[in-house]
Amino acid sequence: MSAQHPRSSATVLLLIFVAGLGVGAIATSYVLLGTINNLQDDIANVQNQVSQISGDQTVYNQNITLYQNSTALSEIYEKTRDSIVLISGTTSNGTVQGSGFIYNLTGTMVIVTNNHVVHGASGISVTFSDGNGYAATVKGTDPYADLAALSVPNASTTEFKPLTTVSSSTLKVGNPVVAIGNPYGLIGSMTTGVISALGRTINEEEYTGGFAVANIIQTSAPINPGNSGGPLLNYESEVIGITTAIVADSQGLGFAVPSNTIQKEIFGLVNFGTYDGHSYLGVKGEDMTYDTAQTIHSSVTYGWKIDEIVSGGPAAKAGLQVNDVITAINGTRIRNGDEMSSYLEEKTIPEQNVSLTIVRADQTLQVSLTLGKRPPPPS
């Protein structure tokens, strides 16, 4: 008995070992199965996420295509082409041509265009998109904004298909735009681009006597002679500006008066023949730069430096001095003359009190000033 005991024990141990292996294999298989199931769940989740991302990307691409393909742009053109007119006239230098668009002023249909299109012109006519032409009368002009309003009393009411004009306050650099007009007499030509900058100023010495046309939109939409006075449109076929000027020999550099200026002035132009709400400081000057700051020993390198003060003007009455640097108006930072002129044009009116922040040598001062009204433009 004692001799057989070790052999029996070995057998029992062997059986226990084999059973342990079986149990271990089962447990291992169970763990592996759970791991595989978890991996399959993770793979399924990743696949769902990829599918969602792919779906979102498809929608995004469709939106981009909607705004860029020729069909969308052709729809804008078809919606607006009958609202844009050709303006012709005669000056001492020959014939002139430009563009304009139909505007509904509380039931009164007028043509909006640029002042420089009709300035000094006689025998002015308006030709609608159907080819019908009529004599036109200038109702009002404002050289300081390069705007004019015309009436066409003999035209049939069916000719007038006004465009919708919306606020330009929400415009941003990069917004896509469309310009439609009559460059070089090529009626109904359309170009596209983006808003390149906001708050520019342009100079039209012949019409403004040296004052800047302020708060201007800069656009990359190609603009050529004859486009002047035509609408600048957003992709909803709404007017956000009126094309007004180009820089000679430039590539893709055009300008437009913003629609806010049109809406602010149109009533006065039509009913009173003018608009006289342009604020006036009574100063001349230049943009501040680092080099200028070193020359005059100023502590600031931005702003607008006063070079000349008009006797008896608002700045003279407020005690401003030559070499004062205007750096803010009513707390709004002013980096250069564009920003100063655009702020005054858009945010102020004559007789309004404003607070100027100026730097005089190394002192920062607050000066209260009552704005004046610009003198009449040259005739």
Please list the active-site residues. Answer: 116, 146, 228
Query: Two tokens at 35?
Result: 């791991």
> Closest Cα to residue 320, out of 359, 292, 346, 352?
359
Nearest to 227, CA basis, from 143, 116, 301: 116
Name residue 283's beta-bridge partners.
Answer: 309
Sign of CA dihedral 351, 353, 355, 361: positive
Beta-carbon-side half-sphere exposure of residue 41 (alpha carbons within 13 Å): 6
Residue with tokens 């079986």: 22
Distant-in-sequence, close-in-space partners of 264: CB < 8 Å, separation ≥ 6: 275, 277
By three-state DSSP, how is residue 122 classified? strand
Residue from 295, 276, 288, 278 nearest 326 by CA: 288
3-state SS assignment for residue 47: helix
